[in-house]
Structure 1
Amino acid sequence: MYTIWSGSVGDPVWIRPNWPLHEVRGLFSFRRGGVSLPPYEELNVGLHVGDDADAVLKNRERCAIEVGCPVERWVVAEQVHGAKVAVITEAEAGCGARDVHSAIQGADALVTDVSGLGLVVMAADCVPVLFYDGVRQVIGAAHSGWKGTVQHIVRRVLETMQQAFQSNPADVQVWIGPSIRQCCYEVNDVVADPIKAEFGRRVLVKRFHRAERYLLSLQACVRQDLLRSGVRPEHIVDTGVCTSCQADVLFSHRADAGRTGRQLAMVCLVEDEV
């Protein structure tokens, strides 16, 4: 389901969490409405995929205007398909915003209580997850690939929010962004075995007439971890969009045979007006 989305043919398309806009802004971008050329058309925000850097920075500026957070205030995770969570302070403002090398090293998730900083993760099939604690005014963003999912990255985000900012998971609202879904995500035993060990068999569907092949729901794994960590069911929203099914409007590493761009998931606490 497309939830709180906007845009049209030829224009950028966005999904925004329905959080109070005077407190927090969240955004999931799509691939429409940017300036990148094939195979990265159009709104690619990834500087690491081979696209023209000037085009990527123009695309990031478009996203910055949409979410109301200037690129200079972005903080971008390096994303190594792990489960490291970095606590972000004012000192990290701009890290990874205009280059790859200054991104937060080794991190696949970021949390902060600093207003005006935009926490950014990128994906092209992996699961982007945004977090918002409206009581403590704490936010988080996570990139949950299958390896990070097995390592329980969303659980680690919530634990970090608790330890660093005294967040209560029952107060945290979570949005699961566009990502490859069970309809399209075929995996072998290399992936299925650790998934079964951590999440059980119900998140997998065995393929008929295809030995050692399964269809995996990473979103079900993420949801399982969120619930076990104390997040309320009514506080979890899954956008329901499959990147592979919708590769015409979203970047998909699988559907595009590995040569494609990245969309972003971003969250930013709104600065108090002076």
Structure 2
Amino acid sequence: MLGNWIGGHDTPIWLEPSGWRAAGAHAAFSFRLGGVSQGPFASLNAGGHVGDDASAVTANRAKIAAHLSVPVHDIAMAEQVHGSRVALVGEDWLELAPQQRVPFAATDALVTHVRGIALGILTADCVPVLFFDPVQRVVAAAHSGWRGTVEGISSRVVKTMVEVYGCRAQNVRAVLGPAIRRCCYEVDESVAGAFIDRFGRAHATIRPGRPGKFLLDLPSCIRKDLLEAGVSPHHLQDTGVCTACRNDVLFSYRADGGRTGRQLAVVGLRAKRRGGDLSCDQFA
């Protein structure tokens, strides 16, 4: 079904959470098409730490920022250490010079209520989760790898939105972006055990013919974490796209053998409508 929405290989592809623009937030998940990077990073690589040419990464990030009508230097990034720390991005961040806006250290999730700041998360199999409360006008972005998922990074984001910004969990909207799915995410018994203990046996199944190996469903675990945090099931979206299955249009660390680029998931307040965007509903 995904292929129905792919143009030529030079055409940028985006996914947007349905209804968010109308409610006042801009948000999108980039794919790997439409950029200038070459080789294993072709073509819209947004990761500056993977060995790609720095000028190509800069050009690619500028393309993504332009799509959202956001200055590229106004996208706050996290260091992403596969943990569960949540950092607040305040107005003081905007006062820094662009060269001083380094990624938030030892952080995997960012939250802000400041207009003019966008939040960015890089992924190539881990789950990017974007959040938006249209009532209190708060947005957040989380990088949910397996460790962060076990540690409840998504529920920690919701708790931060509630405790710091006065949000109500039932008003928070969340969307899970393209990520590796149960069909392709093989883990060993120790990792599977951690998920079974935390979320239940249904989320990790034994892989036939592979002793000691399990297939793990990260998105379903994140969904359970969010529901337990009080998020309404009506406010949860999932793109449902597997990065490993569709590494022709998405970067996948596993499917690409470890040397590949990164998608960028971005969310911020103050949207500007542009034509030609895709909705997550089209992939439901």
TM-score scaled to structure 2, two decimals?
Answer: 0.90
Aligned to 2:224: 224
Matches within 5 A, 1:80-159: 80-93=81-94, 102-159=102-159
Aligned to 1:53: 54
Aligned to 1:179: 179
Aligned to 2:281: none
Judging by fraction of residues, say which structure has more helix.
Answer: 2
Q: Distance in 2 between matches of 1:147 and 1:40?
A: 26
Given that 2:150 and 2:194 are in contact with CA atoms closer than 8 Å, whether structure 1 keeps it comes out as yes
Q: Distance in 1 between matches of 2:96 and 2:254?
A: 29
Q: In the alignment, residue 72 of structure 2 is paired with which amino acid?
A: V
Q: Distance in 2 between matches of 1:92 and 1:204?
A: 40
Q: Distance in 2 between matches of 1:120 and 1:95?
A: 17
Aligned to 1:29: 30
Deviation at 1:226, TM superposition (A): 0.5
Q: In the alignment, residue 13 of structure 1 is paired with which amino acid?
A: I
Q: In the alignment, residue 47 of structure 1 is paired with which amino acid?
A: G
Q: In the alignment, residue 215 of structure 2 is paired with which amino acid?
A: L
Change (3 A) 1:271 1:127: closer
Aligned to 1:43: 44
Post-superposition Cα deviations, 1:120-159, rounded to whole Å, max 9, x if no partner, equal 0010000000000000000000000000001000010001
Q: In the alignment, residue 143 of structure 2 is paired with which amino acid?
A: H
Q: Distance in 2 between matches of 1:134 and 1:156?
A: 19
Aligned to 1:69: 70
Q: In the alignment, residue 121 of structure 1 is paired with which amino acid?
A: I
Q: Distance in 2 between matches of 1:121 and 1:210?
A: 33
Q: Alignment partner of 2:39: what SS?
A: coil
Aligned to 1:269: 269
Q: Distance in 1 between matches of 2:227 and 2:82?
A: 22
Q: Distance in 1 between matches of 2:255 and 2:249?
A: 12
Change (3 A) 1:97 1:148: farther
Post-superposition Cα deviations, 1:182-233, rounded to whole Å, max 9, x if no partner, equal 0000111121111111111100111122211111100000000000011111
- Percent identity, please: 47
Structure 1 residue ranges, 4+ long, deviating more than 6 angstroms after superposition:
94-99
Deviation at 1:91, TM superposition (A): 2.0
Q: Alignment partner of 1:20: what SS?
A: helix
Post-superposition Cα deviations, 1:91-123, rounded to whole Å, max 9, x if no partner, equal 223989779x81110110000000111100010
Q: In the alignment, residue 140 of structure 1 is paired with which amino acid?
A: A
Q: Alignment partner of 1:264: what SS?
A: strand
Given that 2:69 and 2:271 are in contact with CA atoms closer than 8 Å, whether structure 1 keeps it comes out as no
Unaligned runs of 5+ in 1: none
Given that 1:74 and 1:97 are in contact with CA atoms closer than 8 Å, whether structure 2 keeps it comes out as no
Given that 1:14 and 1:29 are in contact with CA atoms closer than 8 Å, whether structure 2 keeps it comes out as yes
Q: In the alignment, residue 269 of structure 1 is paired with which amino acid?
A: L
TM-score scaled to structure 1, two decimals?
Answer: 0.94
Pair 1:8 & 2:10 matched: no
CA RMSD of aligned residues (A): 2.0
Unaligned runs of 5+ in 2: 273-284
Q: Distance in 2 between matches of 1:171 and 1:151?
A: 23
